[in-house]
Structure 1
Amino acid sequence: MPYDSARLPEYLAAAQEAARAGAAVLESWRGRFVVREKARADLVSEADQASQDVVKAYLLGRFPEHQFVGEEESFGKPIEATRPAAGSAPAWVVDPLDGTANYVHDVPAYCVSIGLVVDGTPVVGVIYDPRLDEMFAAAAGLGATLNGKPMSVSGIATVRDGMIATGFPSNYERQLRNLEVWKAVSAEAQSLRRNGSTALALAYVACGRFDGYWAFDNWAWDVAAGFVMVTEAGGTVTTLDGGEPDPFRHDSLVTNGKLHAELGRLIHNR
């Protein structure tokens, strides 16, 4: 069988090893890569591909029966075209460099994100920040950890007391929708953040640094790891309309659970 839940600890350990290997490539390239532009304000470097190559080789070398969905070869496809077929083998869903613009400008807020998705549901999530040497990890039913120690979402009960995060697409026209929500939430929240890395934002919800996160324009490689991480840390993940979480949809609402309904209302009633 290509997926065996009893092997979750093995899959989780492998994802952590792969994340460290990919991050080592990023750090070796930092400061010497050649930047090119594939869309306005959407910078990418040769380091992306080099990191993904290492991660892919490691994971498929360990688990050749699995699938691989990487950001680099999937860029430009409709999101549904990146969804593995129902009933197919488990898929590693990987962003080899989340927070590319930060990386390009040497802002220390980027990471390698690796999720394992089975029949549309993330079951393993690893997010590794090489600059802070922080390894966020989780697997279904096994809890969530930060550098090996258990982590959990915050206990903040209201948006008024919360630090809320979001993400914006690179396309300006598509940013306008979220700017309206930003305005509405900023009138209520203690503070808002746009850290430039969706994966890290979700990891921060999982460990209690952020209390909530919303977005209209994510991709599966941005959120697959974070979804299982937040859930295992005690938080709540839905679509923006309150539906079941789906990493292969663009929209998501991710919180500590306590302020989930309130944040959802703010987004919809702006």
Structure 2
Amino acid sequence: MADSNDDLNIDELYAFAIDLSKRAGQLLVAATEQRRAAQNNNHVISSTQKLNSVDLVTETDEQLESFIKSAIETAYPTHAFVGEESYSKGSSREYLITPDSPPTWCIDPLDGTVNYVHMFPLVCISIALIHRGEPIVGVINAPFAHSLFSGAVGLGAWLNETTSLPLLQPPPPLPANAPRGCIFSCEWGKDRRDVPEGNLYRKSESFLNMAAEFGGRGGKGGMVHGVRSLGSAALDLAYTATGAFDIWWEGGCWEWDVAAGICILREAGGLVTNGAPPEDGSEDVGDVRLGGRRYLGIRAAGETELESARDAQLRVVREVWRRVVPLDYSRPGG
């Protein structure tokens, strides 16, 4: 089944990723049943802490990643692999996927670990294939929500393999006064340091700006229709691809958190760019750099007589940039 770097069979890879996500989902469900039985028998599942109390890792993470990695190495031995658990244990934390890298599978075996620990059902397995620095296949399986989101370059984006994304076709126009009237998706993240000018304070300021009455807070009030935090960047992206969320803004994510979702959102007609405006003061909206750790996604938009879909998305990007405080997330080692 192996492919050369320049001759990838997208249909085959896409089918493989979907099947792999389903098999991993079955393992996740089985592990959850075992956990419930053990808990009922007064046994506590083994867990450790990574960064702090909101970043838990269970045995299930490692078991799922081992299963996924083994399946990929068997099917595509020439491809590279980056997974959250193996990366976290490695000595290097630098960016590992570049345009010169071989086709690389980028995996989060259990996104929404805190949800999983608390038995909140929004948990997923995220599988992406990256080629020449871009995600070209993305699959997000949320088995407890009975939802499988998928997409591949040229093949579109889908829910449960049968329903095309976004769910409303054609997609409705973005609100004329956006972010007013939009659903805004975001997460508090892992950086909880009580430091003025730190990311926790920057996010808090940004959330207040987006939520405050329109024109309030010195003109930055966005009066978004609602704010949603699912506890999973992958699922935040997936629901932006469905059109349920209009705007997704996040910082601190790693490649495995977002690669699959970026592929799916793009194939659904969405836009993904940097979570902060260019440092040169321009309003140029460029393509997102996978691994940049600051992201902004906009759902697919319908055209109007006055505005194309792309122009509407660019307008919303700039309105969000006006209201958010740029986050400070560097990469270890560079």
TM-score when scaled to structure 1?
Answer: 0.93
SS at match of 1:55: helix
SS at match of 1:202: helix
Question: CA 1:36 to 1:2, structure 2 compared with 1: closer, same or farther past 3 Å?
Answer: same
Asked if residue 179 in structure 1 is aligned to residue 204 in structure 2, the reply is yes
Match of 2:186 among 160, 166, 175: 166
Match of 1:11 among 13, 22, 28: 13
- Does structure 2 conserve the Cα–Cα contact (< 8 Å) formed by 1:166 and 1:215? yes
Q: CA deviation at 1:34?
A: 1.7
Cα RMSD, aligned residues only: 2.1
Greater percentage in strand: 1
Q: Once the two structures are aligned, what percentage of the paired residues are identical?
A: 31
Q: CA deviation at 1:4?
A: 5.0
Provide the C-alpha distance between the structure 2 equivalents of 1:228 and 1:84, rounded to a whole number of angstroms: 16
Q: Deviations over 1:28-75 (max 9, x none)?
A: 222343222122121110100001111111122111110001000112
Match of residue 120 from structure 1:
133
Provide the C-alpha distance between the structure 1 equivalents of 2:323 and 2:262, rounded to a whole number of angstroms: 25
Q: CA deviation at 1:180?
A: 1.2
Match of 1:252 among 277, 283, 295: 295
Match of residue 225 from structure 1:
260
- Does structure 1 conserve the Cα–Cα contact (< 8 Å) formed by 2:206 and 2:323? no
Match of 1:238 among 236, 257, 273: 273
Match of residue 165 from structure 2:
151
**Could you say which structure has the larger radius of gyration?**
2
Q: CA deviation at 1:100?
A: 0.4
Gaps of 5+ in 1: none
Q: CA deviation at 1:179?
A: 1.4
TM-score when scaled to structure 2?
Answer: 0.76
Gaps of 5+ in 2: 39-44, 194-198, 213-222, 278-284, 301-311, 325-334
Question: CA 1:57 to 1:2, structure 2 compared with 1: closer, same or farther past 3 Å?
Answer: same
The residue type paired with residue 130 of structure 2 is V
Q: CA deviation at 1:185?
A: 0.9
Q: CA deviation at 1:21?
A: 2.1
Question: CA 1:233 to 1:239, structure 2 compared with 1: closer, same or farther past 3 Å?
Answer: same
The 5 Å alignment of 1:17-96 reads: 17-30=19-32, 31=35, 32=38, 33-40=45-52, 41-75=54-88, 81-96=94-109
SS at match of 1:126: strand
Q: How many correspondences in the alignment?
A: 270
Higher mean C-alpha deviation, range 86-95 or range 252-261: 252-261
Question: CA 1:193 to 1:5, structure 2 compared with 1: closer, same or farther past 3 Å?
Answer: farther
Provide the C-alpha distance between the structure 2 equivalents of 1:115 and 1:127, rounded to a whole number of angstroms: 9
Q: Which structure's relative contact order is higher, taking Cα pairs within 8 Å and 6+ residues apart?
A: 1
Q: Deviations over 1:149-204 (max 9, x none)?
A: 21127425122221110123212023222111111111220001111000001000
SS at match of 2:293: coil
Match of residue 116 from structure 2:
103
Match of residue 315 from structure 2:
261
Displaced runs of 4+ in structure 1, greater than 6 A?
76-80
